[in-house]
Each structure stands twice: as structure tokens, then as C-alpha cells.
Chains A and B, each alone.
Chain A
């Protein structure tokens, strides 16, 4: 009997391993391309700026941007601003994401709640979040809270919407299993709805973090005294184009690192993914 088990499962494992290593070699090459292409583009840019092919008032040479970045780092300005932005981003993401997760799961599980909240979300979701910034400033003032609220709003929608779809996508048989095996209501949330919706929740979290970063940059341009958005805006006011590029570079770096972080997190919390039929 044991021999029989082996003969069924061994080829599956072997082929899965082969597929994985195949993917790995591919992704190593992809990663090389991912590094190489931007480097080549930067080199072309540098050359074009040095030779005067492009207007360095708008497109300063990358080497000058790097110099500005170094100065900004030494003065501590860059770190202070980056820290302020990251702090708002993390706080806003948590404050918007957790309610988004809770509302999403409840809407996915309970039809009446879905009927109540779905039209509300459908009606408010398409409003450009940047357009409600003045209103948020009016309500929450010019301090920290208005910035955090902007990020929270950005994180809430994609997470709530994706979580709801995630729960709705779970095959009803798993809820039957929960009921049949004496799972309490809380157990069903914990062991069926939440883990079953995790792949969708991760997608929502990635979108929410990205939207949060966009919104915090905009929010910091209005009535803030710290943050990368503020740094970019004040660089414009003083026509310090290099500094503006430094701000843009750090914002995009944060965006990139967030993607890396969430992909890694996804790999850890959704180890069964890629298997769903």
C-alpha cells in the first residue's frame, strides 16, 4: 500500500519541483533585465544631459541629482521627510486597512450587510480621493490627522472591496464543512473566511498601499511642513529641480520596496497559492 502511495505522489512532487526551478531560472534572468534596463536608461540620460541634448533645467543629469541627494542626506532633511511620510503611510494603512478587512469579511459573509454597504461603497469609491483633500483638511485640520486620514481612505476601499470578493469566491462547501464540524461563528471567520480570502486580501493590500503612497504625496503638498510631498512641493517653489527629483526618486523607491515587501508577505501567508484551480 505504501509503495502505491509513493508511486502516485512522487511524480507530482518531482514535476512541481521541476516547474519551480524552471520558474526560478526565468525569474533570475528577469531580475537581471529589471536592473539592467534602468541602468542603461540612466546612462543615456546622463550622457544626454552632459552633451546638452536635453534641457538640464527640467531634466538635470542623474549625477547632479545624486549629488543633491547626498547633500540632502547629510543635512538630515531627506531622512526627516522620508520618516514623516513613512510614519503617516504605515499609520494610515493600518487605520484604513483593518476596518477595510473587517467590513470586507462581514460583507462577504452576511448578505444583509452586503445589501446595505454595497451601494454605499459603489457610490463613494469612484470619487477621486485627491478631490476630497480640501474637505479632509477642513474636517481634520492642517495637522497630522488629515494626512493619515487620506492614506486610510486610500487603503480602505481596495482592501474592503477585494476582501468581499475574496470571501464570495470561497466555495460554499467550505462553509458547510465548518458548520458540520461544529465551528462557531468566530471559528468560521478565522478558519474559513479569512484564510480563504487571503489571496484577494493581499491584492487589495498591494493596491491600497500604492494608492496610499499617491495620496500621501498629494496631501503633503498642501499645508504640511514635513514629508516627501512637502519636499517636492517646496523644491518647486524654490525651483530646486535636483531636489524635486530626489523626492520623486525616494517616493518611487518606497513604492518599489512596498511591492517587494508585499510579495514576500504573500508568499509566506498564502503558501497554497498557485495551486487553486
Chain B
């Protein structure tokens, strides 16, 4: 069993993702396998994500989506295979994660939570003030800056988590079902906000979700995974134009077609997962 290091940093520019329109590859995942005590969670997962693309990973529960994200984040290691990030920008962190569920510190105010990454990197105080101020503004949190998380609703807390990740200015944003605990209306609003903020800088995003609708709404590229062990079932490009309006999108005929297509790939997998 080879124990590959999970993150290789490769500095070369020329490679181009075959699927996406000629943007250079940002993340290359090659033959990624993860086993826990003999159980294979991820099996030979290989894909590329082009620079600046919003990539959604969908699959039935227990398909290793979260494990994949944790390996990308450097919080877990692969059993074999590799993850490489191309052309890392100097001086900025590799990635920031928006975690599933409550992950903002209950003992810090909204402001201190959003400033956390910058403070840990010892960024200059004035820079922290302007960056955090900007992202709190973008997420509608400015008036709540001095409140503690327990004074906020679930949707507001998740906005803080998003502001924290964006403010850290990492190259890649990794999101692990950030909206799964929210009600339908809040989810739609936050999706819309997320897209709006993302449009500003268009960082490369890997967004884990179990919702097909969410994946099509947000993503440029959708990776459909099989039930356990997690393998890649299909990679689908979403040709819907940007900037997108989350609600108007549902009107688009192509939206329905893509959702339908993904359900076609997913149906057997969900069935398999259920029978286990």
C-alpha cells in the first residue's frame, strides 16, 4: 500500500483541461483511493478542474464526497493516488473550507470569526479591516459584526462561514454541503449570494452537495459519484451562462434537461445505496 502525500504542488502552465473551454487545469486528482480499515471509501477517482471553474460533486450519501473534500483540504491523506494544484499563487493559502454544519467559533464575534484566517496569517491590521469589512458587507452581516453566533439564525451563521472562507483569499474554495441544514428559502437566498460573491474573483470552487438542483444551479461542471465505494460515474458540463439568477434559472429548458440527465445517472446509485 503506497501512502501518497496528498498534495503535490506543480508549477507548470501549459496543460489544458479537455472538457472546459481552454482554461488551464487548476486541480488534478489522479487515481485517488482512500481505504479505512480495509473498507474502500474512494476508488480510483480521477478528474481535472479548470482554473476559475465552479465544480460540484454530487452522489448518494456515503459515497465519500466529504472524504474527497477533506483530502483536497489537506485534512485527510489519500491511501494512494495524488492531488495536485497547478501554479499556486505565492503568498496566499492553498484553500479555505466552508464546513458542513456549525463550524464558526461560538466564542468569537461575527467579526473575529470572519477575520480568523487573516489573523492566523498575521496579515496587517488595516488589511484585515478592509477585507473583513468588505465580505461582511457582501454577506449582509455588517450590522451583526459584534454579535456572537448564538444570537444568529442558522442561515446567518452559514453566511459567517462563507465570509470567513472568502476573506481568507485562498486560491481554492472547498465547500462541504454548506446549505444542507437550511430551509428551502434560505438555501435559495444563500445560493444567490454565494454566486454573486464568487463572480467578483471567480476562484476555483469544489462544492460538495447531495442536491442535484443545487449542483446544476451553481456548477460549471458536475461530477456524479457512485455509491460506496465512491467512483466517478459521469462528469457533466453545465453550459448555462453566467452570471446566473438562481430563481430565473429554473425557467430555462436546459436546466430541467441537465437535472433530468443527472438523475438518470444517479438513480441506480441511490437505489444501490438504499439496499445496503
Determine if chain A interacts with chain B.
yes
Report A's interface with B, CB cutoff 8 A: 1-2, 4-5, 8-9, 12-13, 16, 173-174, 176-184, 187, 191-192, 195-196, 198, 270-272, 274-276
How close is A24's CB to chain B, nearest CB, in angstroms? 18
**CB-CB under 8 A for A8 and B156, given A13-B151, A191-B105, A271-B148:** yes
Whether the pair A177, B150 counts as a contact (CB closer than 8 A) is no
Residues of the B chain whose Cβ atoms lie less than 8 Å from the Cβ of A180: 73-75, 95-97
A276 touches B106 (CB 8 A): yes
Q: Are B120 and A182 in contact (CB under 8 A)?
A: yes
With A16-B151, A176-B75, A176-B99 already in contact, the answer to whether A192 and B120 are too (CB < 8 A) is: no
Q: Judging by beta carbons under 8 Å apart, are B140 and A2 in contact?
A: yes
Scoring B108, B120, B168, B193 by chain A CB atoms within 10 A of each residue's CB, the highest score goes to: B120
Contact between chains at B107 and A198 (CB < 8 Å): yes
A142–B22 alpha-carbon span in the complex (Å): 84
**CB-based contact A272/B99 at 8 Å:** no
Q: Report the number of A-B residue pairs with Cβ-Cβ less than 8 Å.
A: 86
Tell me the bound Cα distance from A176 to B148 in angstroms. 20
User: What residue in chain A is nearest B70 (Cβ atoms)?
Assistant: A176
Contacts of A270 in B (CB 8 A): 107
Interface contact B103-A174, CB-CB below 8 Å? yes
- Judge whether B11 is part of the interface by a CB distance below 8 angstroms: no
Chain A residue with Cβ nearest B105: A174
Q: What are the residues of chain A within 8 A of B164 when measuring CB–CB?
A: 181
Bound CA–CA A192/B164 (angstroms): 16
Q: CA–CA, A9 to B153, complex, Å? A: 6
Question: Can you list 7 A-B pairs with a CB-CB distance of less than 8 A?
Answer: A1-B193, A174-B105, A177-B105, A178-B120, A191-B108, A275-B148, A275-B150
Q: Is the CB of A275 within 8 A of B168?
A: no
Q: Using Cβ atoms and an 8 Å threshold, which residues of chain B touch A176? A: 75, 97, 99, 103
Q: Is the CB of B156 within 8 A of A272?
A: no
CB <8 Å contact, B120 and A179: no
Q: Which of A1, A177, A187, A270 has the most CB of B within 10 A?
A: A177
Q: Does A5 lie within 8 Å of B140, measured CB to CB?
A: yes
**Of B99, B105, B153, which is within 8 A of A195 by CB?**
B105
Q: When chains A and B are docked, how far (Å) is the Cα of A271 from the Cα of B156? A: 19
Q: Does B263 contact A (CB under 8 A)?
A: no
Q: Are A177 and B99 in contact (CB under 8 A)?
A: yes
A43 to chain B, nearest CB (A): 44
Q: For window 181-228 of chain B, which residues contact chain A by CB distance below 8 Å?
A: 186, 189, 193
B121 at interface by CB-CB < 8 Å: yes
Neighbouring B residues of A276 by C-beta, 8 Å: 106, 150
Query: Is the pair A182, B121 in contact by a Cβ cutoff of 8 Å?
Result: yes
- Are the CB atoms of A8 and B103 closer together than 8 Å? no
User: For residue B185, which residue of chain A has the nearest CB?
Assistant: A4
- Tell me how far the C-beta of A259 lies from the nearest C-beta in chain B, rounded to whole angstroms: 23
Contact digits for B78-113, partner A, Cβ 8 Å, 1 yes 0 no? 000000000000000101110101110111100000
**Is residue B178 contacting chain A, with contact meaning CB distance below 8 A?**
no
Question: Does B229 have its Cβ within 8 Å of any Cβ on chain A?
Answer: no
Q: Restricting to B143-200, which residues have a CB under 8 Å from any CB of A?
A: 143-144, 148-153, 155-156, 164, 168, 186, 189, 193
Complex contact A12–B148 (CB within 8 A): no
Contacts of B186 in A (CB 8 A): 8
| Cβ contact of B189, chosen from A4, A198, A274, cutoff 8 A | A4
A194, chain B: closest CB distance, angstroms = 9
Contacts of A9 on B, CB cut-off 8 Å?
144, 151-153, 156
Kindly state the separation between the CA atoms of A183 and B116 in the bound complex, as whole angstroms: 9
Known: A13-B151, A182-B117. A272 touches B95 (CB 8 A): no
In the complex, are the beta carbons of B103 and A173 less than 8 A apart? yes
Cβ contacts under 8 Å, B116 to chain A: 177, 181, 191
Whether the pair B120, A181 counts as a contact (CB closer than 8 A) is: yes
With a cutoff of 8 Å between Cβ atoms, the chain A residues found around residue B105 in the complex are 174, 177, 191-192, 195-196
Measured CA separation A272–B189 after assembly (Å): 27
Distance A270 CA – B108 CA, assembled complex (angstroms): 10
B144/A181 in contact, CB under 8 A: no
A201 to B151, CA, bound (A): 23
Q: In this complex, what residue of A is CB-closest to B174?
A: A180
Q: How far is the CA of A13 from the CA of B120 in the complex (A)?
A: 31
Taking CB as reference atom, which chain A residue is nearest B192? A1
Which residues of chain B come closer than 8 Å to A196, judged between CB atoms?
105, 107
